[in-house]
Amino acid sequence: MSDTLNVVFTIDRNYIIHFSTTLLSLLENNKDTNFRIFLIYDGTESDLADVCRFFREKYNTEINILSINPDIFIDFRITHHIRQATYFRLCMADILPQEIDTLLYLDCDLIVDGSVSELSRTVMDDEYLRGVEHLFPLKNKEHLSRFGIDPESDYFNAGVMLVNLKKWREEGLTKKLMTFALERRDDILWWDQDVLNILLHGGWKKLHPKFNFIWEIMESNSADKEIREAQEKPVIVHYTRSVKPWHSNSYHPYRHLYHKYRAMIPFGDEL
């Protein structure tokens, strides 16, 4: 195995099965890549005993569990289907081992259906992170003007991010992100994704949209070459919006991918 990629996920107990499905899809489609898997979790390790055993025995992959107290985020903005766990990623630089300089963050409502080796070879420069532009309509970004940001400027989706942890630590970013999320909770709209976009505005670079294929990219009429490539063959399908592929009323055209990989988990029904 020539490439090594640090990957981090953040979940609460409600997402154990979805995390397992996402991780399985990553490993199934990237057998030539060596991964170090980290999971920031607010429960006990015993909750994940079967999960850790399965991935250790089937894929020779250890899940490094990092505990976090969810009460830290009790006063943060929570609406719709979002829970406190979404804010766990703001603490990545402090929670992950200090020797890790870069990592790939993945949400657990997505499926990896291709190779991410390109990401493992990506060299970070001085940017905070690399992400895929969300392509939000203007009405979903108008609130950014409260923070002195042009709503028409680029805005990334935080579900897939290559993160420069070294730079985050050098600039004490964890404290800045957490403080802003709490103090401006009534002004932000899209939770920690807003926090990251506002504080890191102008300090990120774009990933190819095939690595975070969301509704807005799927429905785009853009003639942009990269968007067309993503529409033809997405590598990471991200099930944004509140109706997920495990819901009976899901009509996502790629919902079958979720069920394909979930069916490969022997303890899925128990979870």
Return per-residue pLDDT of the chain as tens, 271 residues.
346 899 999 998 889 999 999 999 999 999 999 999 999 998 888 899 999 999 999 999 999 999 998 888 887 767 766 677 788 999 999 999 999 999 999 999 999 999 999 999 999 999 999 999 999 999 999 999 999 999 999 999 999 999 999 999 999 999 999 999 998 888 888 889 999 999 999 999 999 999 999 999 999 999 999 999 999 999 999 999 889 999 999 999 999 999 999 999 998 665 5
| The pLDDT of residue 249 | 94
Where do we find the tokens 């899925």?
Answer: 268
Third-level CATH fold of 3-262: Spore Coat Polysaccharide Biosynthesis Protein SpsA; Chain A (3.90.550)
Joined together, the tokens standing for residue 244 give 């997920």
94-133 pLDDT, tens digit each: 999 999 999 999 999 999 999 999 999 999 999 999 999 9
Q: Which long-range contacts (CB under 8 A, 24 or more apart) does 43-46 make?
A: 43/12, 43/13
| The pLDDT of residue 202 | 95
How many other C-beta atoms can be found within 10 angstroms of the C-beta atom of residue 200? 18
HEC string for the chain: CCEEEEEEEEECHHHHHHHHHHHHHHHHCCCCEEEEEEEEECCCHHHHHHHHHHHHHHHCCCEEEEECCHHHHCCCCCCCCCCHHHHHHHHHHHHCCCCCCEEEEECCCEEECCCCHHHHCCCCCCCCEEEEECCCCHHHCHHHHHHCCCCCCCCEEEEEEEEEHHHHHHCCHHHHHHHHHHHCCCCCCCHHHHHHHHHCCCCEEECCHHHCECHHHHCCCCCCHHHHHHHHCCCEEECCCCCCCCCCCCCCCCHHHHHHHHCCCCCCCCC
Kindly give, in sequence order, each residue whose CB lies less than 8 Å from that of residue 15, ignoring residues fewer than 6 positions away: 85, 108
Q: HSE-up of 177 (CA within 13 Å, CB side)?
A: 25
Joined together, the tokens standing for residue 146 give 């409260």
* Cβ-contact 36, 6 below 8 angstroms: yes
| The pLDDT of residue 270 | 59
61-77 pLDDT, tens digit each: 999 999 998 888 887 76
Question: What ranges do the domains of the chain cover?
Answer: 3-262
